[in-house]
Amino acid sequence: MAYLLGIDVSTTATKTVLIDEEGAVVATAGSGYDFASPRPLWSEQEPALWWEGTVSSIRQVLAQSGAAGGQVAAIGLTGQMHGLVLLDEKNEVLRPAILWNDQRTAAQCDEIRARLTPERLIQLTGNDALTGFTAPKILWVREHEPEVYARVRHLLLPKDYVRYRLTGDYAVDCADGAGTLLFDLKARTWSDEMLAALDIPRPWLPQPYEGPEVTGVINGQAAGLTGLAPGTPVVAGGGDQAAQAVGVGAVEPGIVALTLGTSGVVFAPTDAPLVEPEGRLHTFCHALPGRWHFMGVMLSAAGSLQWYRDTLAPATSFDDLTNEAAAVPAGSEGLFFLPYLTGERTPHPDPQARAGWIGLTRRHTRPHLTRSVLEGVAYGLKDSFRLIQTAGLGQIRQVRLSGGGAKSALWRQILADVLDVELVMVNTTEGAAYGAALLAATGAGRFANVPAACQATVQITGRTSPGPDRLAYAQLYPIFCDLYPALRPAFQAIGQQS
């Protein structure tokens, strides 16, 4: 029996999944860690934590399964996107990695827009300059830590630092590369125009590969530490959202992945490098050749329900809260919840956006409050769906739902009604690491291509179709859309006082 390994280098843990040739999960393991906030809005992490987590989790899954390292046919990598890892000429880490959720680079984002114009930036890279992306972090280091910048010889993303430790090679997949703001979206490689405009040397950047392509093999040192066999192929893999989409089978236009976790992600594959003209959606390369994707990100999705329960009903279970809310009619009798607890990204890239209930009256009770939170998140996700459709995707045939919030039958029904589309659940629950393992299986020749791998391994386990309430929500959603523009001046004023 041969096995495939998927490794997910996330912000809070490194997770490893071992699957067999049929796609069945054989073993999983994880190794947790924290990140640092040395100043307000900063977020940093030591790359050594990722490597230690990788070694530990690989050894755990081999021990759990009883598999020998030589039975692993290939390895796929995924992980947190946009982070900046800097290496010197001896391949030593120069400073802690600056992570995707770091917010220090607003001035550098303005500088990037000024150097290229916002319109050209979006047409070239598919994205506006946002503080989370890699390129503005590079400019920040150059401006604020010139002694570090002078020693830089290699720029890597988090999972690709782990790749370097496994293989000794510098490589990146196209999906993760597109998240740096240094990629030519159409050409699927580094943009000479971007590098020239920002004065970043191309030799510092790793070689781009498509997700299933082999980038190197396990070296002797890594083999000794992990228990894997020297020479085991390592494929490019994908950024975490692209690998997550592979893991649920969202690899063709019309099949959308919706992740209802702490944040909410709407991921829509495309067969052309489409862009949203104002940059309100992310557009990146997908983790398979000839595919790209739109992505809308909502910062507080299931996180809104978590906050609500923890703050206002800490002794009550989520099931009890949603069971109460099921008795409330669609629309919560005129009560709306704005889910902007931590600002927002799509379609309102506004860190000053605030959450709130609008329309409260004395007749509203806890079940109304609960249902309005579920509905507010659904409306916010519909904002991304609407943008994706108007940007050129066309018909959405099916939405594949995953994440902790998907466990609620009421929430699934509200989402199906608000979005007016069928939602399906699938059998794969291991997220991005499973997608990375499928990319490894494809690279090892177990499947002809990534869609074939998904068709063979991902099965639908449940369906939720729109019901009669979709008509009520169609009338209520435009009211929700009017609330943020009306309140934005107040949000800005509040932000200046806090």
Supply the residues annotated as catalytic. 240
Name the residue with tokens 């150059």: 142
* CA 231 – CA 18 distance, rounded (Å): 18
Distance from C-alpha of 408 to C-alpha of 252, rounded to nearest angstrom: 27
Q: Cβ contacts of residue 127 below 8 Å, gap of 6+?
A: 121, 133, 181, 279, 282, 283, 284
CB 418 within 8 A of CB 378: yes
The upper half-sphere exposure of residue 155, i.e. CA atoms within 13 Å in the direction of its Cβ, equals 26
How far lies 14's CA from each of 6, 47, 48, 194, 366, in Å? Answer: 10, 11, 12, 32, 38
Structure tokens at 389: 């459709």
DSSP of 435-485, one letter per residue?
HHHHHHHHHTTSSSSHHHHHHHH--EEEEE---THHHHHHHHHHHHHHHHH
Helix axes 450-457, 431-443, angle to 10 degrees: 120
- For CA atoms 49, 433, 414, 397, the dihedral sign is positive
Give the strand pairing for 282-285 and 154-156.
unpaired
Q: In what order do the strands lie in the sheet with 292-298?
A: 282-285, 292-298, 264-270, 255-260, 398-402, 423-426, 460-464
